[in-house]
């Protein structure tokens, strides 16, 4: 294994709590899964990275196909401290990847390790935990804590966040108070942005018959305040409607240096920055038939990503860089600046307005699905088809994703044009 990194937990409370566990603690039977997957990736011939690699091979290598072996182990210990029930839950992930043309790489991480105490109606947790919020499928404006990557080719346990959590439940309501990334409260660097930002988060839930209502609030160390709400309504036995909205005082994003213009510069003109107010919202509906066929339709707006005018200027700069004559402009300078043009690809949404459609059918033991993510502003599209078979001991998955659209569509200029995945999983 070439590299090994296990992320530290930030909470001193967790260490103290672990030390208080009695030796008579009872553990549930450990569980987990073993998985072997192969992902075949085809590079796109469009976009700034493809142009940079053509000018100077090796500056922006195309995405490599890879074989990945994974092991995930889950375990929980239960005991009491006086009259208070305690539990310690852990999730350990091990992986070893071999990518074509590159050295093998191994990694280990703790997805979850948290201590929980039950005080009746109230529960408290401290440690590293996966905590996902909101009601959307393709996008979640109010996913304040986990900020999980959505629409992956193969679902797996994400890496949790260091947090302190206090919750209260009853039959029709719930309240959650969370301090996520407490170890980063005074940090002010690029490593403390996005999901790594320290923040206080609050969620309230109330059920009104077939209607689930949520309220959210968050205060980030440097992004400030945001508030949100969400609704999910079971309209009929087949039809469900949902929606979510969030208002942000400030947000993290990408800022382009106007001084760069269309000429090559010595440093990356795209830099992370804390920007002004923004709005995110989503509306959706899902229908489920008697034969377990389903239709999901969602439309969302993400005001934290680049505006349409910014992407238009981005396309213009990419085109101008490609047209620069070599010589007198050095090929290395052109290639480097084109590679920097891919910086804004690292965002939750590429375009502000998005349409998502998913069709599914689940005849036992199969699950078939097809979905399309469409960006109306430039007619970009991301098409995905997947197939799953669930047996008594094995789960087999296959999926293919194709990015396309007109030449100036942002999705069409991503570095990967097509991805094909095959996976076999053995739970235990």
pLDDT of residue 167 exceeding 50: yes
- pLDDT-based confidence at residue 292 (cuts at 50, 70, 90): very high
Residue 9 tokens, joined: 């937990």
Over the chain, what HEC string results? Answer: CCCCCCCCCCCHHHHHHHHCCCCCCEECCCEEEEEEEEEEEEECCCHHHHHHHHHCCCCCCCCCCEEEEEEEEEEEEEEEECCEEEEEEEEEEEEEEEECCCCCEEEEEEEEEEEEEEECCEEEEEEEECCCCCCCCCCCCCCCCCCCCCCCCCCCCCCCEEEEEEEEECCCEEEEEEEECHHHCCCCCHHHCHHHCCEEEEEEEEEECCEEEEEEEEEECCCEEEEEEEEEEECCCCEEEEEEEEEECCEEEEEECHHHCCCCCCCCCEEEEEECCEEEEEEEEEEECCCCEEEEEEEEEECCCCCHHHHHHHHHHHHHHHHCCCCCCCHHHHHHHHHHCCHHHCCCCCCCEEEEEEEEECCCCEEEEEEEEEECCCCEEEEEEEEEEECCCCEEEEEEEEEECCCCCCHHHCCEEEEEEEEEEEEC
Give the separation between CA 107 and CA 93, rounded to whole angstroms. Answer: 8
Task: Say if CB 271 and CB 254 are below 8 A apart.
Answer: yes
pLDDT of residue 2 exceeding 50: no
pLDDT in tens, 68-114: 999 999 999 999 999 999 999 999 999 999 999 888 999 999 999 99
Q: CB neighbours (10 Å) of residue 61?
A: 13
Picking from 426, 392, 428, the residue whose alpha carbon sits closest to that of residue 30 is 428
- pLDDT-based confidence at residue 142 (cuts at 50, 70, 90): very high
Residue ranges of domains in the chain, CATH in brackets: 12-427 (2.40.160.10)
- pLDDT-based confidence at residue 189 (cuts at 50, 70, 90): confident
pLDDT of residue 185 exceeding 90: no
Residue 307 CA from chain centroid, whole number: 21
When the pLDDT of each residue in the chain is averaged and rounded to a whole number, the result is 92
Picking from 36, 112, 30, the residue whose alpha carbon sits closest to that of residue 71 is 36
pLDDT of residue 7 exceeding 80: no
pTM of the entire structure? 0.89
Interval 153-175 mean pLDDT: 95
Give the separation between CA 200 and CA 185, rounded to whole angstroms. Answer: 10
pLDDT in tens, 25-82: 566 789 999 999 999 999 999 999 999 999 999 999 989 999 999 999 999 999 999 9
Interval 152-163 mean pLDDT: 95
Give the separation between CA 90 and CA 111, rounded to whole angstroms. Answer: 8
Task: Report the phi/psi class of residue 405: left, alpha or beta, with left for phi > 0 and alpha for psi in -120 to 50.
Answer: left
Interval 313-340 mean pLDDT: 93
- Tell me what pLDDT residue 26 has: 61
Give the separation between CA 300 and CA 136, rounded to whole angstroms. Answer: 9
Please confirm whether the linkage preceding 391 is cis (ω < 30° from 0). Answer: no
Residue 120 CA from chain centroid, whole number: 33
pLDDT of residue 191 exceeding 90: no
pLDDT of residue 8 exceeding 90: no
């Amino acid at each position: 294994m070439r590299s090994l990194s296990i992320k530290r937990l930030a909470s001193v409370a967790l260490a103290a709590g672990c030390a208080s566990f009695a030796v008579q603690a009872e553990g549930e039977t450990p569980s987990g899964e073993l998985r072997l997957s192969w992902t075949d990736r085809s590079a796109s011939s469009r976009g700034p990275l493809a142009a940079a690699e053509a000018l100077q091979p090796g500056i922006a290598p195309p995405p490599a196909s890879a074989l990945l072996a994974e092991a995930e182990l889950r375990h929980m210990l239960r005991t009491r401290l006086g009259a208070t029930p305690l539990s310690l839950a852990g999730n350990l992930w091990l992986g070893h990847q071999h990518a074509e043309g590159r050295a093998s790489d191994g990694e280990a991480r703790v997805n979850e390790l948290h201590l929980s105490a039950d005080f009746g109606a109230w529960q408290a947790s401290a440690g590293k935990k996966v905590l996902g919020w909101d009601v959307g499928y393709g996008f979640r404006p109010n996913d304040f804590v986990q900020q999980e990557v959505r629409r992956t080719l193969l679902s797996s346990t994400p890496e949790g966040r260091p947090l302190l959590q206090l919750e209260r439940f009853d039959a029709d309501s719930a309240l959650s108070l969370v301090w996520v990334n407490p170890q980063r409260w005074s940090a002010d660097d690029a490593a403390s942005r996005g999901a790594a930002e320290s923040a206080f988060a609050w969620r309230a839930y109330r059920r009104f018959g077939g209607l689930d209502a949520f309220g959210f609030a968050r205060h980030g160390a440097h992004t400030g305040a945001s508030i949100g709400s969400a609704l999910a309504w079971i309209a009929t036995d087949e039809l469900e409607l949902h929606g979510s909205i969030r208002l942000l005082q400030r947000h993290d994003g990408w800022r382009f240096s106007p001084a760069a213009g269309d000429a090559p510069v010595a440093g990356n003109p795209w830099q992370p920055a804390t920007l002004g107010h923004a709005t995110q919202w989503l509306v959706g509906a899902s229908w489920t038939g008697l034969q377990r066929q389903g239709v999901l339709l969602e439309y969302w707006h993400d005001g934290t990503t680049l505006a349409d005018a910014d992407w238009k200027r981005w396309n213009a700069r990419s085109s101008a860089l490609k047209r620069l004559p070599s010589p007198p402009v050095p090929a290395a300078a052109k290639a480097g600046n084109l590679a920097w043009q891919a910086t804004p690809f690292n965002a939750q949404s590429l375009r502000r307005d998005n349409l998502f459609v998913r069709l599914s059918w689940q005849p036992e033991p199969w699950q078939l699905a097809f979905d399309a993510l469409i960006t109306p502003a430039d007619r970009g599209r991301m098409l995905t088809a997947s197939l799953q078979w669930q047996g008594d001991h094995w789960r087999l998955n296959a999926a293919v994703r194709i990015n396309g659209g007109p030449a100036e569509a942002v999705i069409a200029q991503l570095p990967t044009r097509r991805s094909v995945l095959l996976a076999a999983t053995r739970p235990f």
